[in-house]
Structure 1
Amino acid sequence: MTNHNLIKTAIFSLGFTLLSACNSSGGGKVDEVQPEPVPNPDMVVLDDRSYLLKLPARFSADKEYKLLLAFHGSGSNSEAMQSIAGFEQKSEDYIVAYPQSKVEEWNEGCGCNKPARLGINDLGFVDDVIADISNNYKIIPGEIYAAGFSQGGLFSQNLLCKRSETFKAIASVASPMSEQLSHSCTIAQPTSYMMVHGLADTILPYQGQEHSNFGLISSPDAVQLLARQNGSTDLVDVGWQYADTVALTAFENNDIKTQLYSVTGGGHQWSYSRFDSSREILNFFDSHDQPSLPQYSQVHAIGEKSLHVRAMGENNSGPAVILLSGPNKNFHSDSAWFARLQPQLAYKYRVYAIDRAGNAWSSFDDNASYTGFVDDLYQLLPELGETEVTLVAFASANITARLFQDKYQNDANVKIKNMLWIDPDIFLPHSIAMYQGGTVDWYHRRINDIIPHIGEGNWTERSAGKITLEREEVAGLVGEATASLMDWSYFDLVSQRRLTIPQQTTRAIEISNYYDDLNNVKELPLLTDIKISVIDSDFEQPEIAEATEGQEALIQWAEEGSQWSQEVAAESGGQYIPLTNTDHLVTFDKPEAIIEAIDWLVAQE
């Protein structure tokens, strides 16, 4: 056939001839002569491509359905895949598409086979299939799934690496993972993945194989790699299912599951004597029906993004308070920082802690920034039913606050009535130069190299260590006296989200873009049209005391920060609130000072 050395292999007799996608020790994948195709009324032609569409037996045009795409093996076809998988016969909840590859195989992401050499855009084809079905049928938003067999399973892994934002969960059968894809895979948004593989598979071996053109890593190594990409660093389940026939290896991170079912004695096949792959895959997909967001959490669609909001006190008739987070010393920046403050504020206010794209349960954005969040916030507030708000900005989040007011202060749809800035960024030349130097400058110049490095999981262990230390620090700030007011469950759930590859990547992108965010605010004048109160802690003092060099610059930064903060408050008619012996995480150390400051602002209205 080609340099890919396609060879013949085992055939399943199920009333048709089926070939599994595979690879031999000679470096090729299996091919098989197919019978002449019989016209099928369910075949949908899409430009120069096609897919087999199967509707539920009791299909109703008025009902919304999930969408499942199932990919055949090398040398096979969509009808053969439908015959062995038959997903539509096992569930009334799915519209099922069986796409047809353009040549013998799928462009699986290894860059090593015929469709890769021909430049066939199978990822784009999948996008087109989804769009075509979505235009003609009612698909439940966010309920799109994929599964593949053999080389089709390798392609489904490519979808996991390249289209994770599209799919809620993905499965593969009889497919380990290509060496090439294992090096390039980056899961942008954590996506559950299920792998089924027979230990006796000699076509695409369970233990992988070495080859210069088409090497495979083992299925256990593939699942561990993908678990790390999904932010799951701990093995949560290793056990036998179905007596001693099938072993389950499972990793979890919140609602994201990464699983391997290892079938003793199983060969290169779709289903096994005691394991119905179609049924088990559907069970796996159905287990994701109701993602268990934490209590009070919501996810709102804003254009192509989705933003996480923790909404508390929604039945209160008083003013609405918006909480925007900035970073701590590790640049972690999300609604976990409000796990102590927000519940107490919610006794009297409607309180919304909003996470920028890429943080907590907000969707990934490859250009995340404080500047970009301005328009997201503008679109989100009316969705929350809040058009007049008190905005609380912690640390660098005052960049978003200042840019928002500059852009939308005369807009009739949304009004910020007043603001509270907590340890804000200082928009003066010396301070901005300090913020943009060192770490930020390093990220800004190297971001294109940093992102793939993170994608390989190289920073996960270090991030986990930082999160552990942060929790200890916060526990010390909260103390025993007010520990009952701290929502540790929520804090821990959000903290664990930081371990996912997309959130590690977001952190790097935001640090890099922070350089330009600062340029966007450095020339803006002080605000005078709304009251801004500023809480100014003395968190810089320990850093100044411990500095072995650059101490004078740090002292100047602290001094001009206090002076500037006083000017911000004075020019706007707000309060300047200095705090001594206070940690930068004021939300844990002195939450009562924040509450009093908000109460004062509201009383001025």
Structure 2
Amino acid sequence: MKLQPILKSILVIIITLLLSLVLSSCGSDSNNVDSDKADTTGLIKLAQRSYLLKLPAGYQADKSYKLLLVFHGSGGNAMSMHSTAKFEQYTDDYIVAYPNSKEVEWNEGCGCNIAHRKKVDDLGFVDAVIADIKQRHQVLDSEIYAAGFSQGGLFTQNLACNRSKVFKAVAVVASPMSEQLAASCAPEEALSVMMVHGSHDPVLPYNGLADSNFGLISSPKAIQLHANKHNALPYPLIKPLPELGAGSINYSNGKQKFNLYSAIYGGHSWRFNQFDTSAQIIRFFAELEQPELPKHSQLVTTEQGQFHVRAMGLDNPGPAVVLLAGPNYNYHSDSAWFAALQPLLAQKYRVYSIDRLGNAFSSSADNLSYRRFADDLALVLQQLAESQVTLVAFSSSSISARWFYQQHQQQFDIKAMLYIDPDIPLAHSLSLYQGYPADWYLENLPELLPYIAEGNWTARTKDKLDLEYNEVKQLAAANNVAFDLGYFEQIIQRRLLIPQQQARATEIASYIADLDGYASLPMVSAIPVSVIDSDFEQQQIEQAQEQPELAAALQLWQQEGSAWSAEQASLSNGQYIALSNSDHLVPVQQPEQIKHALDWLFSQLQLP
């Protein structure tokens, strides 16, 4: 006989209905107010519907507030959702409304439930609730949010798809997304989305549900769908959050965020053991403008802007090692090039990779150059409380390192410098550097920046990044290099963002003046300067064999560079290290060579 399970199910339904009636009665009589009483909180009637309104502590009638709408699950109501979430206990910044559904469920957009069959206009009801609250209180139009639990979370995703002009961000708890809504979702404007879901949810499964009427896509696919709808960058940031008993998958389009928090072994619940959902939702809404950063990364704020700094090996003694990135042949230049080198060096040294403004997660600015970064670097190191440093400069960042030494050697104890394929400040090399494309960018920059702003270079940038991505992976694999691919992905994809594309163009246009100033400085002699000189030019020389004039110019460039590098090392009692059969991206291909060179430099220093 199978009567016992059936009776058990009936009993659960009866208890749910009774609980719903009890909770509803808690909001009757003294809490019921008519829609014309605009300064009272409680269960507010709106035509044939109602919503529970909660004002923040210390509410001031002449102050404008953020607005948060919170949607209950199937069979629930406003009072039960309020008892669960209690958002107003976490913040005084929001007016919080808890609407009641007309039917047992919300018309969530799947076209598969009773609310749909009865043609309940829940989207219109939400519009009416917001309008009613705006009549009663002062609301910030650009700060309207939504959150929903279970079936209310499914409806909240309907709002994300069909009311994106209204909401700045939404939070979805304990629900993935229906297959029908996934197929029809077409937001008009960008908004941020947060999802929280227990990995072992038995009601609305985390991994989705195959069903002809009520099919669900998984939560990871749902957050990816939201991200894709808003042109997010391709590689998610995946972070373990053991302190919260969760993990996260985070996408970004540079302005909006799309985060899924997966509660490990969590069931169908609003809260989890270590994860306070209400607190995390408020935090997410408050930090929409702040990017999710990879492990070891931070943003250091100075008077010139925010600088992305990756700090590793912080417990190691001695002078700090500061990594300065320079460009490859596509002029891409950021801390992605140190995805193999920095973890290696951090085993022994305290290591910072610092991204210039306009690169990686750093904020942007108008007047960008390698020369300018020398002064910015001083401000960042001051904030980091690092006064004793050794600089490792890759490629054109030798300009920044040399100017930093020139301008700030009195302020900082600069122990040594290591150049990797530095720019050569001699006449022939300068003539090559200052020709195409630098001269073209300088001439066309005023027209180029608005052209880039319209997205006209995004596709070509993506093609270059795809090529670089594969080349770097192959380079690291071929040389058996331990490589932090996740960090590399997070940084290189930032190059796709419009401000970063514009920053790259501005830096190239500034390069001619950067080189002129660099060439005016004498060689460094007071501290040891080692130079790693790869033979990456050889491949270009071989490719130019059918153009004898060009091949000769490239050969002279190579010879001039090797001679200057050897002289700089000799003059300063550093090492000159020539690498054969080497790629220009020495930090990716041969990080061990850089570590050996740095070890030698430190062995020469008089350290306590």
Pairwise same-fold verdict (TM > 0.5): yes
The answer (yes or no) to whether the contact 1:417–1:530 under 8 Å persists in 2 is yes
CA 1:310–1:280: 2 relative to 1, 3 Å:
closer
Partners of 1:390 and 1:568 in 2: CA distance: 17
1:544 aligns with 2:570: no
1:444 aligns with 2:420: no
Aligned to 1:536, the other structure's residue is in SS state strand
CA 1:371–1:172: 2 relative to 1, 3 Å:
farther
Partners of 1:409 and 1:459 in 2: CA distance: 40
Give the Å deviation of 1:286: 5.3
Partners of 2:334 and 2:92 in 1: CA distance: 36
Matching residue of 1:423: 421
Query: Paired residue for 2:512, among 476, 495, 515?
Result: 515
1:454 aligns with 2:438: no
Matching residue of 2:463: 465
Query: Paired residue for 1:494, among 485, 488, 491?
Result: 491
Aligned to 1:498, the other structure's residue is in SS state helix
Partners of 1:602 and 1:373 in 2: CA distance: 25
CA 1:524–1:416: 2 relative to 1, 3 Å:
same
The answer (yes or no) to whether the contact 1:335–1:494 under 8 Å persists in 2 is yes
The answer (yes or no) to whether the contact 2:142–2:168 under 8 Å persists in 1 is no
Give the Å deviation of 1:283: 8.8
Give the Å deviation of 1:418: 0.5
Report the TM-score when normalising by structure 1: 0.59
1:375 aligns with 2:372: no
Could you report, residue by residue, the CA deviation over 1:289-329 in whole angstroms, capped at 9, with x for unpaired residues? 98531111111111141111111111112332110000001
Partners of 1:420 and 1:145 in 2: CA distance: 53
Give the Å deviation of 1:537: 0.5
Partners of 2:65 and 2:534 in 1: CA distance: 53
Partners of 1:358 and 1:424 in 2: CA distance: 22
Matching residue of 2:472: 474
CA 1:460–1:91: 2 relative to 1, 3 Å:
farther
The answer (yes or no) to whether the contact 1:147–1:172 under 8 Å persists in 2 is no
Gaps of 5+ in 1: 1-13, 18-37, 40-53, 61-66, 71-87, 98-143, 150-170, 178-191, 197-217, 228-237, 261-278
One-letter code aligned to 2:508: I
Partners of 2:280 and 2:376 in 1: CA distance: 39
Matching residue of 2:75: none
CA 1:357–1:560: 2 relative to 1, 3 Å:
same
Partners of 1:423 and 1:467 in 2: CA distance: 22
One-letter code aligned to 1:314: L
Aligned to 2:358, the other structure's residue is in SS state coil
CA 1:489–1:145: 2 relative to 1, 3 Å:
farther
Bigger Rg, structure 1 or 2: 2
One-letter code aligned to 2:564: W
Matching residue of 1:166: none
Could you report, residue by residue, the CA deviation over 1:237-264 in whole angstroms, capped at 9, with x for unpaired residues? x99xxx89xx99622335536599xxxx
Partners of 1:173 and 1:221 in 2: CA distance: 8
Superposition map of 1:87-236 within 5 A:
92-95=90-93, 146-147=142-143, 194=169, 220=187, 222-223=189-190
Could you report, residue by residue, the CA deviation over 1:468-489 in whole angstroms, capped at 9, with x for unpaired residues? 2112211222125634x21111
1:349 aligns with 2:383: no
Partners of 2:91 and 2:554 in 1: CA distance: 61
One-letter code aligned to 1:447: L
Partners of 1:442 and 1:331 in 2: CA distance: 14
CA 1:147–1:543: 2 relative to 1, 3 Å:
same
Deviates more, 1:286-295 or 1:486-495: 286-295
Partners of 2:525 and 2:361 in 1: CA distance: 35
The answer (yes or no) to whether the contact 2:304–2:376 under 8 Å persists in 1 is no
One-letter code aligned to 1:503: Q
Partners of 2:464 and 2:298 in 1: CA distance: 27
Partners of 2:452 and 2:303 in 1: CA distance: 27
Tell me which protein shows more helix as a share of its residues: 2
One-letter code aligned to 2:143: A
The answer (yes or no) to whether the contact 1:172–1:194 under 8 Å persists in 2 is no
CA 1:487–1:55: 2 relative to 1, 3 Å:
same
Partners of 1:292 and 1:345 in 2: CA distance: 25
The answer (yes or no) to whether the contact 1:394–1:423 under 8 Å persists in 2 is yes
The answer (yes or no) to whether the contact 1:526–1:568 under 8 Å persists in 2 is yes
The answer (yes or no) to whether the contact 1:299–1:307 under 8 Å persists in 2 is yes
Give the Å deviation of 1:194: 4.7
One-letter code aligned to 2:542: A
The answer (yes or no) to whether the contact 1:55–1:95 under 8 Å persists in 2 is no
Partners of 2:36 and 2:395 in 1: CA distance: 65
1:531 aligns with 2:528: yes
Q: Provide the aligned length of Structure 1 versus Structure 2.
A: 406
Aligned to 1:421, the other structure's residue is in SS state strand
Partners of 1:59 and 1:176 in 2: CA distance: 27
Matching residue of 1:601: 601
Matching residue of 1:250: 226
Could you report, residue by residue, the CA deviation over 1:379-428 in whole angstroms, capped at 9, with x for unpaired residues? 111322321111000000000011111111223xx121100000000111
The answer (yes or no) to whether the contact 1:193–1:259 under 8 Å persists in 2 is no
Partners of 2:141 and 2:569 in 1: CA distance: 52
The answer (yes or no) to whether the contact 2:371–2:400 under 8 Å persists in 1 is yes
Partners of 2:580 and 2:280 in 1: CA distance: 59
The answer (yes or no) to whether the contact 1:56–1:89 under 8 Å persists in 2 is no
CA RMSD of aligned residues (A): 4.3
Partners of 2:287 and 2:531 in 1: CA distance: 47
CA 1:90–1:451: 2 relative to 1, 3 Å:
farther
Partners of 2:57 and 2:415 in 1: CA distance: 56
Partners of 1:581 and 1:466 in 2: CA distance: 24
One-letter code aligned to 2:341: L
Partners of 2:302 and 2:598 in 1: CA distance: 28
The answer (yes or no) to whether the contact 1:335–1:360 under 8 Å persists in 2 is yes
Matching residue of 1:403: 403
One-letter code aligned to 1:513: S
Aligned to 2:469, the other structure's residue is in SS state helix
Partners of 2:489 and 2:601 in 1: CA distance: 31
CA 1:436–1:55: 2 relative to 1, 3 Å:
farther
The answer (yes or no) to whether the contact 1:194–1:284 under 8 Å persists in 2 is no
The answer (yes or no) to whether the contact 1:250–1:259 under 8 Å persists in 2 is no
Could you report, residue by residue, the CA deviation over 1:332-380 in whole angstroms, capped at 9, with x for unpaired residues? 1111101111111111111111111111111112222111111111011
Partners of 1:342 and 1:145 in 2: CA distance: 45
Matching residue of 1:138: none
The answer (yes or no) to whether the contact 2:338–2:587 under 8 Å persists in 1 is yes
Aligned to 2:93, the other structure's residue is in SS state strand
Aligned to 1:331, the other structure's residue is in SS state coil
One-letter code aligned to 1:602: F
The answer (yes or no) to whether the contact 1:311–1:351 under 8 Å persists in 2 is yes
Could you report, residue by residue, the CA deviation over 1:512-561 in whole angstroms, capped at 9, with x for unpaired residues? 11222112212111111111111110000111111244222212111111
Give the Å deviation of 1:173: 9.1
Report the TM-score when normalising by structure 2: 0.59
Matching residue of 1:325: 325
CA 1:89–1:583: 2 relative to 1, 3 Å:
closer
Deviates more, 1:578-587 or 1:474-483: 474-483
Partners of 1:457 and 1:355 in 2: CA distance: 23
Aligned to 2:582, the other structure's residue is in SS state coil
Partners of 1:55 and 1:387 in 2: CA distance: 50
One-letter code aligned to 2:417: M
Matching residue of 1:589: 589
Percent identity of the aligned residues?
44
Partners of 1:563 and 1:280 in 2: CA distance: 58
Aligned to 2:464, the other structure's residue is in SS state helix
Gaps of 5+ in 2: 1-33, 40-53, 68-85, 96-139, 146-159, 172-184, 194-207, 216-221, 237-249, 259-278
